[in-house]
A and B are shown apart, each in its own frame.
Chain A
Amino acid sequence: MSVPANHEFFIDPGRCIGCQACVHACSECDTHRGHSMIHLEYIDRGLTTQTTPVVCMHCDSPTCAEVCPADAIKRTADGVVQTARKPRCIACNNCVLACPFGVPKMMSQFELMMKCDMCYDRTSTGKKPMCATVCPSGALYFGTREEIEALRTSAVPTNRFRFGGQVIHTKVNMMVPANRSVEYVDVASALNEAPTGQDIELNILTDRRPAATTT
């Protein structure tokens, strides 16, 4: 049994509450027990509580595999990019440096690149990935496209990303605002934008102007 073809992974950073349930749950997974493969980042804690979870996007043409000099990184027939093969991995770090999403982790104690394999031990037996099962806010979701469309009206999935001249198609979807038509997410240019944190109406706190009242 493998991941049902109609089940997909959806990341919705707009829903992330920074609780790290995914980070903790990831390290409970059988294939890498004790080690979390998820990164969870504050965008700019000084300005906002916005956080974002980073799991492997499982690219159609994985950059990590393309730059691997030892051909250690394999993509399964159903599109899951796996942790480097232990006998092959030379711990050169190429994949860590090359991945546009910053996903692979070099576990120097094992001399091995490890990364999210979409809980292959679970999804291959019909279970959901651990992170997407526990996530309390729906920032990580595993299910069918029909399910996510029924659950979300404010966001739509996309799986195209651009980094400079490189356009990447991924197995994992990112939820983007439904009211904008998006050809791809331009990740590199987004890096230069300040997080707004200002789409709350009449918010006096993150407003750059002095707050309306003090004592």
Chain B
Amino acid sequence: MATLPAAPLETIEQFGPHLSYPAGARLDTAEEPDRQVKTHCCFCGQQCGIQLKIKDNVVVGFEPWEDFPFNRGMLCPKGVRRYLQGAHPDRLLTAYERDAAAPGGFRPLNYQAAVERVASEINRIQSAHGADAFAVLSGASLTTEKTYLMGKFARMCLRTANIDYNGRLCMVSAGAANKKSFGIDRSANPWSDIPQAEVVLIAGSNVAECSPITTNYVWQARERGAKVIVVDPRITPIARTCDLFLPVKPGRDVALFNGILHLMIEQGWIDQEFIDRYTVGFERVAEHVRQWTPQRTAEVTGVTEKAIRQAAQWWGQAKTSFLLHARGIEHHSHGVQNVLSTINIVLATGRLGREGCGYGTITGQANGQGGREHGQKCDQLPGWRDIDNPEHRAYIAKIWQISPEELPGKGVDAYEIFRKIDRGEIRGLLSICFNPKVSLPDNNFIGRMLDKLDFYVAIDFFLNESARHANVVLPGSLQEEDEGVVTSAEGRVIKINKCVDPPGDAREDWRIIQDIAQALGRQRGFTFDSPRQIFDELRRASAGGVADYSGITYEKVERQMGVFWPCPSEDHPGTPRLFEPGSWNPVAQGNGPFYFADGKARFNVATYAPPAEDVDADYPLLLTTGRVVSHFLSGTQTRRIGPLVDQYPEPRVELHPQLAEQLGIADGDWTTVESRRGACTLRAQVVRTIRPDTVFVPYHWAGLKSINQVTIAAQDPISKIPEYKVCAVRVSRASSPPAYAGVFEPQQ
């Protein structure tokens, strides 16, 4: 394969992104809907409860679901408009095959013929180059049933080691650090503990835009007298109302938290009794943070010494507290170290496992939690089991009725899959729920690698920018076209309910995977009739594991409005709050509340290192990236919803007026952000709400508007998360508008 089958504009004309607005039955208030289905939003990890209105197999609107306890009817703009993704003009209604002569570069193909072609290409590639030469990229917006099936499909049907998922860009730094510190990867508390806290510390989380419902929890704490501390290079809407703002220089979070711990130890603001009884490793950490004096911390982080001291005092002296973090500290080449440094200041206070004493990472994707538990990660088997552990392999092999030897070993992470394509080691790819051409860093490389594949099949409901490179596209399902469970940021397992049938030839993703297995002649283990059947096997596969779902049933989820895992038996109510004193878990077996054999949590030395690419004379500024409230991830869905595009049509580069003045850039000017990897020209937004040494660009757009042309593919050595949150750039006023201006619509 060489290049895209058609010019981007031709493909866009045929497949979008086009915008959908309310029309027809969606505007007609005289028509009563046929029914209203209680389900959840398809977007972020908050998983707000929502009721969708259905008329003639189309989702025509919504009604708030005020009884669902997490959001009580609250929604963000994405939730309000999510219904517009269905019955969309861009919806894929058939399978497609690449054909340069066809409109947009793809011609419709009979579904069965498409599946058979996929199977024959898989066979061809694996026979010639070995099983591992065919890779799978999956996603964490899929239901847990689907994520389980994807892991099983890769290992048992394709027999490839190379499966990974887009949570690699999202949750893995938090997950790895949580495992190292607690032995379990889940938010330690339900969000209902947030308003009970005296201090809420938010590190690297644009809560108001990326997880808007959490705002109300934080502000309820504030109404009860809590101090809110925000660590961020930008004054986001949540930072605007905080009590203490620590505008950390991107990439220096470890230093900040080590500096805070230094002061806590110096002042005696630690819980020595808890440390002695429930943790190990404190002495080494205490020794390590001795070097992080307030003066040095201030020099490295760019936060004033006075502010660091104030943070340490408020955090240190509090009786109750909640620490929340998100991608801001996780998207780093030392993301795991960043997270460990925050966990250390939590463990040192002993404020865990009690009401109002909490810690959590805010998952980004719909199933960011559940999607990382049951085996679609390159090193993992269901129930958070380890693919290198012989006992774990034997357990899963038994469930799947194969011998442990048949299970492949550990594969490589999502980015390394593309490097393996570059080296010719991977020749074929199946992707689902993943748009790497937009979402991976240094994405011009990703586009070249997609073109280098011998065969690429993409499963999606829209022809996303990555799928434009595919040989075959299979029409998958929207969230509302299937049922299954997902696990929210709190660790609450909830139920997505089916609202409509997949249109045309489109079908539920799990059916497509099973159809491929059948076409390969390896359907054993892939003959499920329903998501419920998959879930029942998943329950057995997770039994006894750390992420134990065995006691969860669809009925119990509906009855309790969610079940917090672990839930090891049907009479078990679930576990909203982890690490309560005296709690039992299968690893500690009663030795203590944490998930290690001795029941104790681990302090881990968190080592500071500058970002993989620091500023220099040629590239003197820091670039950081993130989200805006009306868009989601690579924009495959939200860039097709008219009212959300109208709210934030195109990416802008945020920069401080001091910097803008130096560079001669005025608000609204075309401005080029350039790194060693690529450049992107966007309009400037001049604001005092960002550090003067840092520029910010949101990442939801594709092609020439994609800031991931500029970002760096450096990764954390442990979690393999890419360093989206910091790289070196130079910024200048563009001499002329970019090539896309006046050619592409804002969302394209």
Contacts and interface: CB of A to CB of B under 8 A. Distances in A.
A47 interface: yes
Interface string A177-215: 000000000000000000001001111111000111111
A18 to B, nearest CB: 6
B693 interface: yes
Nearest to A136: B212
A47 B688 contact: yes
Interface string A1-13: 0000000000000
Interface in A137-175: 137-138, 151-154
B74 A19 contact: no
A99 interface: no
A17 B22 contact: no
Nearest to B616: A215
A34 interface: yes
Interface residues of B, number: 67
Contact of B302 (A33, A45, A51, A212): A212
Interface in B660-718: 667, 685-693
Nearest to A210: B658
Contact of A200 (B28, B219, B235, B693): B235
Nearest to A24: B80
Given A19-B209, A134-B73, A200-B239, A28 B62 contact: yes
A137 B215 contact: yes
Nearest to B71: A136
B14 to A, nearest CB: 28
B223 A136 contact: no
Interface in A32-68: 33-34, 45-51
A205 B247 contact: yes
B224 interface: yes
Contact of A21 (B77, B656, B690): B77
Given A153-B223, A205-B235, A212-B302, A200 B244 contact: yes
Contacts of A200: 235, 239-240, 242-245
B368 to A, nearest CB: 19
B235 A203 contact: yes
B259 interface: no
A133 B64 contact: yes
A85 interface: no
Contacts of B403: none
A28 B304 contact: no
Contacts of B689: 47-49, 205-206
Most buried by B among A27, A201, A205, A211: A205
A46 B223 CA distance: 28
B223 A152 contact: yes
A200 B235 CA distance: 10
A197 B216 CA distance: 20
Contact of A50 (B223, B240, B243, B667): B240
Q: Which interface residue of A28, A47, A212 has the most chain B CB atoms within 10 A?
A: A28
B72 to A, nearest CB: 9
Interface string B648-666: 0000000011100000000
Nearest to A134: B75
Contact of A20 (B219, B647, B685): B647
Contacts of A21: 74-77, 79-80, 212
Nearest to B630: A20
B215 A202 contact: no
A15 interface: yes
B578 interface: no
A79 interface: no
Nearest to B50: A134
A25 interface: yes
A82 to B, nearest CB: 17
Contact of A17 (B73, B215, B643): B215
Given A19-B209, A21-B75, A136-B216, A46 B667 contact: yes
B708 to A, nearest CB: 24
Contacts of B241: 14-15
Contacts of A25: 75, 80
Contacts of A47: 687-689
Contacts of B657: 46
A90 interface: no
A211 B307 CA distance: 14
A33 B614 CA distance: 51
Contacts of B80: 21, 24-25, 28, 134
B268 interface: no
A30 interface: yes
A135 interface: yes
B525 to A, nearest CB: 42
B586 interface: no
B524 interface: no
A181 to B, nearest CB: 20
Contacts of B22: 27-28, 33-34
Interface in B619-668: 620-621, 629-630, 643, 647, 656-658, 667
Contacts of B307: 201-202
B103 interface: no
B615 A138 contact: no
B27 interface: yes
B73 A133 contact: yes
B450 to A, nearest CB: 34
Contact of A19 (B27, B212, B306, B620): B212
Contact of A202 (B27, B208, B306): B306
B310 interface: yes
Most B CB atoms within 10 A — which of A17, A31, A130, A135? Answer: A17
Interface of B: 22, 27-29, 61-62, 64, 66, 71, 73-77, 79-81, 208-209, 212-213, 215-216, 219-220, 222-225, 235-245, 247, 249, 302, 304, 306-307, 310, 615, 620-621, 629-630, 643, 647, 656-658, 667, 685-693
6 contacts: A24-B77, A28-B62, A136-B71, A153-B223, A206-B235, A215-B621
